[in-house]
Structure 1
Amino acid sequence: MGQLDGRTALVTGATSGIGLAAARRLAAAGAHVFLTGRRQETLDDAVASIGDRATGVRADVADLDDLDRLFAVVAERGGLDIVFANAGGGEFAALPDVTWEHYAETFNTNVGGTLFTVQKALPLLRTGSSVIVTSSNIDTKGAASFGVYAASKAALRSLTRSWAAELVTRGIRVNSIAPGPIETPGLSGLAGDPGSAEQLLKGLAAGVPMNRLGRPEEIAETVLFLASDASSYMTGAEIYVDGGASQI
């Protein structure tokens, strides 16, 4: 029997990288997993890679109508036991170059999208449910040319604590994961071209005590831990999965 047999999970931003690895791991542990993504073709591919324990719903978490449609589909199956609010992203922009559009897009997706995903999941969350938020190990550090993104992740760390306090009486746990640099298409995409991407990834790896990038599957194992009864006495916490970068 799997750790999550009979449970239902939602993973946002699940078409690649951390989200897809987590969706696969939760399904392998026995959960039925709802996946979201903004592009139908990549969403279909992600669902196909998991099989009959996966259901895809195209949705942009920054669009409230999309979220309403998503949870209407989830409600047809019943309640939810796990929400992995993972969708997000960001781009480099030094302070003189930050535009309102850059700020708004980052916060609307990372903070607003996460906030309203969790809010709209509330009526479906069963007692004993686990809500997991993707933060970042730069949520407590300075990040040159990445300040807006870092600030959005710091906001998610704060929300994790507040939601944990609000939902503890319902028996719902809320925790966050703070990954370091993880080898994903999103990370490579920050560079813009393959040559720059290689330099970026090497530079990031060099800043990690383990001297390497993390793998999405390593974050997925942490998601499974927080989703399962193995973490039943944890709420309001943040787990750093970053090769020691924030601790050593």
Structure 2
Amino acid sequence: MEITNGRPFTMAQCGEPTEATVSAATPAASPEPAVPEARWGNDEGRPSDAASAEALIEAEYDLKFELVYRETYHTDRAAFLLRVNKFGAFLTAILGTATVGGALGDKPLLAAVTGFVVTIVSTLELVMDFAGSARKHEAQVGKFKAIRAELARCERRLDAVRTVEAQCHCIDPVEAGSFHAVAALAWNAAYLSLSKNADRDCLIVVPTFDRLLRHVRRFSPDRFSSIEETRARATKVQ
């Protein structure tokens, strides 16, 4: 199943929102100035009935999900790249010391081997720029958090939510292609954090091997599927 920037399941499948939340979001009957039809259209403006209230709730939920999903993805990527950068620096310091010690202690073979490894590690750090990539992911996290804060402050109007959503789509992606195992785990985290009655059958299955290599291999997008989809395929085979 391909992981996109949205949710691969509908709100009805995932149990969001409930009828109680829809009715709670519907404003009480009170005399308000009519919203001009030419300005807002049928689906925009203040929710005046259950249908428009449900549309507003769904738009808010979709945008919150998108933001939490992206924050989680980039946070995971930034943490991994920082760990790699720190490990490379540690390895360079240790092997550099061994190289100097081998040269001074009349151990040319040790000095040659450790010096070669230091050269390889330093070249990888220079070319891959792990620290710089981590900073880019951290910057992305900050942008999505700022948009989420703006969403919390904005007026509960469908057009206002869509305006905030437009800012989310204007952010340039950091990576050319998604690491699909990281994306699957980020989807699970966003779904569990935002869904009050989360159906665990909707969670995407990520095997242990794929979890361990999620930052190294991109994997195929159709490699991962939900428990529900896996059961459905198994039933068809039987």
User: What TM-score, normalized to structure 1?
Assistant: 0.28
Larger helix share, 1 or 2? 2
Greater strand content: 1
Please identify the structure whose Cα radius of gyration is greater. 2
What TM-score do you get using the length of structure 2 for normalisation?
Answer: 0.28
